[in-house]
């Protein structure tokens, strides 16, 4: 089990896309790359806004992010998956 929230954030980033940079992940949650690096290295205390953004944007289970317990990613319905796909397509994201 990953001990710190910083370790879990790093794992989320790498699980979504092994080549995703800190800058790309930080941009997706409206955060600077340097703040994300500090968060991943546990030099920065994560805020509720950042937790909410990570969970919403990357479909992360909030309980897992905060405690390390349960599944990393939240279960989503087929309709929610379709809505996310359409939203990404409309935004021009892969």
Are 74 and 60 in contact by the 8 Å Cβ rule? The answer is yes
Condensed to tens digits (0 to 9), the pLDDT of residues 50-70 reads 999 999 999 999 999 999 999
Tell whether the model's pLDDT for residue 76 goes beyond 80. Answer: no
Mapping DSSP onto H, E and C, the string for 69-85 reads: CCCCECCCCHHHHHHHH
Residue 83 has what pLDDT? 79
User: Structure tokens of 65?
Assistant: 């992010």
pLDDT mean over 79-89: 77
The pLDDT tens digits of the residues spanning 5-25 come to 999 999 999 998 889 999 999
Burial of 6 (0-12, 13-18, 19+ CB in 10 A): buried
Mean pLDDT for the stretch of residues 13-38 = 95
């Amino acid at each position: 089990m990953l001990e710190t929230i910083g370790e879990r954030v790093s794992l989320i980033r790498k699980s979504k896309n092994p080549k995703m940079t800190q800058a790309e992940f930080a941009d997706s949650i409206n955060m600077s790359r340097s703040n994300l690096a500090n968060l991943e290295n546990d030099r920065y205390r994560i805020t509720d806004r950042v937790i909410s953004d990570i969970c919403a944007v990357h479909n992360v289970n909030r309980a897992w992010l905060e405690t390390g317990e349960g599944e990393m990613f939240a279960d989503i319905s087929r309709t929610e998956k379709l809505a996310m796909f359409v939203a990404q397509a409309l935004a021009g994201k892969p």
